[in-house]
Structure 1
């Protein structure tokens, strides 16, 4: 079976502005790579999974079949079939509903941050002379912490019914520690124990939660929320407040807002928040951003706004702090991907993207990887045609072309909202776009990688298996933790993939009974978050709405499984 060809040549189509991908795929996102291994909680995967597959800008200024063994030929990726991926018709329906929900949310919420073709064949990477072997350079293997449970056959742990809002509400944010699963709810965040799902603590907020970071530092994370509930006089409350939560105690460590750098008394409306080390940074599309000290909420800096209309439109956190800075006016924007000094906000490196690109995204911060749709050449609604790997001096190290549509990495809606990409071992891991397998009714895909030094596709390959589709969740040492979306008659799987050999080890296999299978697959990946740690697996929603039918399957805020 042929895997997507290593696109070592720049995509055709020239350079220009990107387009936002249409909503309708599946986050947690999450959820994109995890916090550094030393951090105690597992937040968004840096690239949240996507269901068949398938997350803003500036100038300097102070987020099938299994492949046949032995590389035997397999069918090339095909355009998506009319039947829903993984054989689940309900998912397609949910995806359509999710897109409608998102459209409503963008109108009602005043700044919510969740939205989330043809496919060519070609030579296998291992037979293409332009492909990098991927395993030809000495690599230090870092042991992972995830162990194979004594019994990998899981059972349901605890499923929480979805709350019913007046219309639609954001419930983004979920984190998994050694002892607690923490999930955003309607105007509250709740911690649940991992034994039976019992409530450990509950933290109320004065208004709706409207954003959360996937990152964790010192057992703390950050969220965005509204200062009040809507009223008949003020139906559209802005998302102006930033809060830091202690994930163990459930206490609100501090909360606050920021005034615009251009002056004025009104607090800035934020669309995203992130975290790196001791710095919390939030940004709004038009009003710039701000940063605070993680420990006490002390204001650290506001990005400078200059005469060219430059502003920070989003940040990426984790191991380092980065920004997308946007200058000028439409359609003549100039974007910069920048590494920042977290304490001062001053750029330590700045990479200028091609003129005409309107939106860019941060895939990773160490190294800095910026994604964009150059010349609107991205296929399969992935939202990105190219990845730019930037060195600490702000110079381009490698360019990874994805415009072929053969890869399922996806970005959209906000700077740090990218899915299906995990960085580790000097590589970027991502899935191929789903394609026909050997079964007439099934779709499948593979996990592949690109070398971050050369930008070339490697020979790395792990197969999802007949009628399963795979998405990377996060790194675990040198291993990749991935989720396999199931067909209609099986349960999903969590696997650990060896970063050197690409050998897969099953960590969890979920039950295939009708109730469990429906609960597990009742989520659209672009609007969901996936968390796995120590034999516990949680899938949760990022938005909730009133049921569209009394006869619909039960909807859960989250479902969970446990292996022992």
Structure 2
């Protein structure tokens, strides 16, 4: 296997220090967000690390995101004029790429805003990764915003200024290895490692327990039910004869007891001797479900691993490509052959696998994703109109009967929502709650020449229209939602080059921000923190004044700087 070259180093002068424009000018394409997950089988070529991201606070360029590349004239409220409203939800992406048009339209919209209310709102608009789209447990099945008003449980620390809790060094590997999966309970931080899952206490980060696995981890769910979660792993370690054993094993981890509750595999429902290969796994209530893009799916009882159901590939070549869990169990079912695929987004009875609601997506869509199962929100890149490699151009809100309730267009590139190319339950930078979906705007020019910023906005799930909600990240910060906390939104703010990151709670009614954590600005601590980010497919978990930031993949180190599997902070 060829050895990937080392990535380029951060610019001199510190992270985010003003630099000359990158090659190609400020319209040059932005580097990819991070390395892909290891394939279930041998890759065609050795995975290459992405080009180094510009440091935080550095004036990056996002071509086609609908923002002028030069600093806009500040509004009376100290914020740049909003960009244009995305086009109607027709699957087209038109209008998002011309600076001059957007500057004119943005100025016109600002004038309207000032006339009608004197308050600014945004007329336009992810994992990850690790940060994944999550629904609000307090929301009603159809997203009734009047019933989603449960208060949050996260308390404001007496002192939000945090300190490092514990930083776990990255394991030594010679190849790209998946360490997908992290969970935070009231007593334990649990993190996937190389061929094992490890629990750490929340007092000083010391190891509490370790669960060894037969092979490397291929995938994990972020859902937890009855203190249990689920992973996919390989049945053996890599060898000279078989460098990539297939991802066939499903295991359930008891997060409190620190043990493997059960593990197993299944043979194909259509016959054959080989175990089915899986790429995704999820949990809904007492059901564990795993799926693969080409291999189909299966479901097990969470408690004892009993196989509950396994769909067969039918005469129309229909198969379950992946599942999404949480309050309900969703699936994307693909029928037909390339290039004439038909996709159905369905809600299933977890006990039997029978559909209770089904929505047929437009012909020509090859992959779809499930953002939330209750309410049911589906994402897709319609007509390959998604901008900036985000993987999603439109959101579809489906009612319990399988009827389309609303369609939300994100094709103009003014939003930072992200979905993985093929995975069903791997969208990030979106959270659902209060009868809305909260999405950050794309990063854009701030008030200063080197300042970048963005905002958190929302759409009404009943109408599909953008609301007047707006929470500003602040000059030189960019903000991404992590999850709901009752009716509040928990968000992480990526810091500029001379600050530490922040965790804030945003009131779902007023959009007022409350600071829960601010990390140290010390150079070494900041460098460790900013090596993890929602933009880099890192996993971020915050609960009760503790923040853990971890990798989804580890690889051979290419610098002398310390590298970590995870870093953590605690506020007092």
TM-score band w.r.t. shorter chain = 0.7 to 0.9
In terms of Rg, which structure is larger?
Answer: 2
Alignment of 1:309-388 (within 5 A): 309-388=317-396
Aligned to 1:262: 270
Q: 2:470 aligns with which of 453, 458, 461?
A: 461
2:432 maps to which of 423, 427, 441: 423
Deviation at 1:439, TM superposition (A): 1.5
1:440-519 → structure 2 map (5 Å cutoff): 440-519=449-528
Summarize the Cα distance change of 1:471–1:73 in structure 2 as closer, same or farther, 3 Å threshold. closer
Q: What stretches of structure 1 move > 2 A for 4+ residues in a row?
A: 21-24, 26-29, 50-54, 64-73, 75-78, 117-132, 136-141, 523-527
| 1:28–1:295 CA distance, 2 compared to 1 (3 A) | farther
User: In the alignment, what sits opposite 2:261?
Assistant: 253
For residues 140 and 392 of structure 1, do their structure 2 counterparts lie closer, same or farther at Cα, with a shift above 3 Å needed?
Answer: closer
Q: Give the corresponding residue for 2:157.
A: 149
For 1:530, the equivalent position in structure 2 comes to: 540
Find the aligned partners of 2:390 and 2:495 in 1 and give their Cα distance.
22
Aligned length: 472
Cα RMSD for the two superposed structures: 2.9
**Among residues 295, 307, 322, which one is paired with 2:303 in the alignment?**
295
Q: Deviations over 1:318-369 (max 9, x none)?
A: 0100000001111110001000000000100100000011010010000111
In the alignment, the residues of structure 2 paired with residue 424 and residue 179 of structure 1 have an alpha-carbon distance, to the nearest angstrom, of 26
DSSP-derived class of the 2:490 partner: strand
Unpaired runs of at least 5, structure 2: 1-28, 38-55, 63-69, 85-95, 124-143
SS in 2 for 1:559: strand
Distance 1:66 1:427, change over 3 A: farther
Cα deviation, 1:351-406, whole Å, max 9, x if unaligned, reads: 00000110100100001111001111111221111000000000000000000100
Choose which of 225, 232, 250 in structure 2 pairs with 1:242: 250
Rounded to whole Å, the distance in 2 between the matches of 1:405 and 1:193 is: 41
SS at match of 2:337: coil
Question: Where does the alignment leave 5 or more consecutive residues of structure 1 unmatched?
Answer: 1-20, 30-49, 55-63, 79-116
C-alpha contact (below 8 Å) 1:467/1:486 kept by paired residues: yes
Summarize the alignment of residues 55-454 of structure 1 with structure 2, pairs less than 5 Å apart: 74-76=80-82, 118=97, 120=102, 122=106, 123=109, 141-413=149-421, 414-454=423-463
Q: TM-score, normalised by structure 1?
A: 0.79
SS of aligned partner of 1:517: helix
State yes or no: 1:543 paired with 2:553.
yes
Checking the alignment, whether the CA contact within 8 Å between 1:530 and 1:540 is kept in structure 2 is yes
Q: Distance in 1 between matches of 2:431 and 2:211?
A: 31
Task: Find the aligned partners of 2:191 and 2:466 in 1 and give their Cα distance.
Answer: 37
2 CA distance for matches of 1:476 and 1:446? Answer: 19
Q: 1:65, 1:465 within 8 Å by CA — same for their partners in 2?
A: no
Which residue is 1:57 aligned to?
Answer: none
Deviations 1:83-138 (A, max 9, x none): xxxxxxxxxxxxxxxxxxxxxxxxxxxxxxxxxx8475633595799999xxx985
Distance 1:385 1:200 in 2: 43
Q: How far 1:527 moved relative to its partner? A: 2.4
Distance 1:532 1:233, change over 3 A: same
1 or 2 for the larger relative contact order (CA 8 Å, sep ≥6)? 1
Q: Which residue of 2 aligns with 1:554?
A: 562
After superposition, give the CA deviation of every residue in 1:64-86 in whole Å (9 maximum; x if it has no partner): 999989866524469xxxxxxxx
Cα 1:191/1:67, change in 2 over 3 Å: farther
